[in-house]
Amino acid sequence: MEPYASVADSYAEFAAYSGDSPTFTSWARAVTEDPELLAWIATLPGLKQQPNLVFAAARWHGVAAPGPYQGLRAALLGDDGSIRRTILTRATQTNEVGRLATLLPAMTAATGPFDRAHPIALVEVGASAGLCLYPDHWGYAWQRADSDDVLLGPEPRLPCRVTGPAPLPHQPPSISLRAGIDLNPLDVTDADAMDWLTTLVWPEQDERRERLRHAVGLAAADPPHLVVGDLLTELPALVERAASYGTVVVFHSAVIAYLPPDDRLRFDTMMRDLVAAGRCHWISNEGKRVLPSVTATGPATPDQGQAFVLGVDGRMVARTHGHGRTLDWTARPGPPSADAR
C-alpha cells in the first residue's frame, strides 16, 4: 500500500490488496465510485486517509463488518465528529505476528543457523506493542508442495506456504533482547489499546484475531523494551546499546511506507551505513515501491495482491504475503555475513 497516493488511487489499490477480506474489498471499490465519500475522506490529513484506518474507526463506532457498504457510507457522512476524532488520534499499528513465519528464515539468512552461542538482540522499527519481538515463543508450519512440511516449535504454529530454497531454521533463535522504536508504542496491558489492535484485524479473519490474543498474552508476561521516538534519530543509539546483548538484527514490516518519500531514502541510507559498519543486520519487509534500492536487486514483483519484498542487508531475498501466509524465496542460498556478530 502507498499511503501517500491520492484518495481514489489509495482505495483502488487497497481493493486489489485486500482480497483476504471480501468486506473491505467491496467497501474500497465502492468508495472509489462515490464522489461524496471521496470528498469526505479528502478532508482528513494525508496519512489519516488510508483505508484500513478509516474502516477500523468506523467499525470502532459500531459499523457492522461484515456488512453492507451503505452502513459505512451512512456512518461517515453522518458523523458527528466521533469517527473523525478516532481517525485523528489512532493509527494502523497492526502488529501481525503471522509475518514471523516469513521473517524467521530471513533472520537465518542474515545470521546463519541459530544457536545459543550467538544470541540475537532483536530491534523492531515501528514496533507498535512489540508483538513481533517473540519469534522464539511461536511454533511454525512451513508447507512445501514438493516435500514434507517443516515443523518447528509447539502449537499454535504459524502456517506459511514456501517455494524456493528458503533457509528454514531447525531450532528457534536465542533472543537476548527484545527492543523496539515507535512514535506511539502501545502498552500490552492497556485494554483499550489492545481492543483497538483487535479492531484493526480485517473482517472474516477470526484466525488472525485468535493469534493476536495469544500474542498479547505472550508480550504481557514479558514486556519488551520500547523506545518512544523517531526511528531516524533514535535507531542508531538503540543499535549501539543492543550490541552488548548479542548479534543485532534490526527488522521492520509494513512500516517504512508511512514515512514521506525523502525520509524513506534517509532510512535506507542509514540502514546501509549501519550494515556496512558491521553494527547490525537489516531485515526489511515492505511493499515493492517502498524501498526501491532493495526491490531492484531481485526479480520483478507483481503489482497485484499482497506481495511484499523481503530484504536481508539491503538485498531482496524473497516475496512474501503481507500477513505472512506465503514465502517465495528468490535468492540463492549462500553464507551469511558475520560482520555484525
Cα Rg, the chain, nearest whole Å: 20
Q: Name the average pLDDT for the chain.
A: 93
pLDDT tens string 137-190: 999 999 998 888 999 999 889 999 999 999 999 999 999 999 999 999 999 999
Dihedral through CA 303, CA 312, CA 235, CA 169, nearest 10? 110
Q: What is the pLDDT of residues 213-231, one digit of tens each?
A: 999 999 999 999 999 999 9
pLDDT at 3: 64
Whether 338 shows a pLDDT value over 60: the answer reads no
Residue written as grid cell 535506507:
268
CA 72 to chain centre: 26
Q: What confidence score (pLDDT) does residue 296 get?
A: 96
Least confident of 60-64, 170-174, 205-209, 264-268: 205-209
Residue spans of the domains in the chain: they are 7-89, 97-329
Q: What is the pLDDT, as a whole number, of residue 286?
A: 96
pLDDT band for 339, please (50, 70, 90 cuts): very low
Return the minimum-mean-pLDDT range out of 11-20, 61-70, 161-170: 11-20
Chain center to CA of 289: 15
Mean pLDDT of 202-210: 92
What's the pTM value of the predicted model, to 2 decimals? 0.88
pLDDT at position 303: 65
Class for the domain spanning 97-329: alpha beta
Q: Give Cα separations from 290 to 42, 63, 242, 319 (angstroms).
A: 23, 32, 26, 14
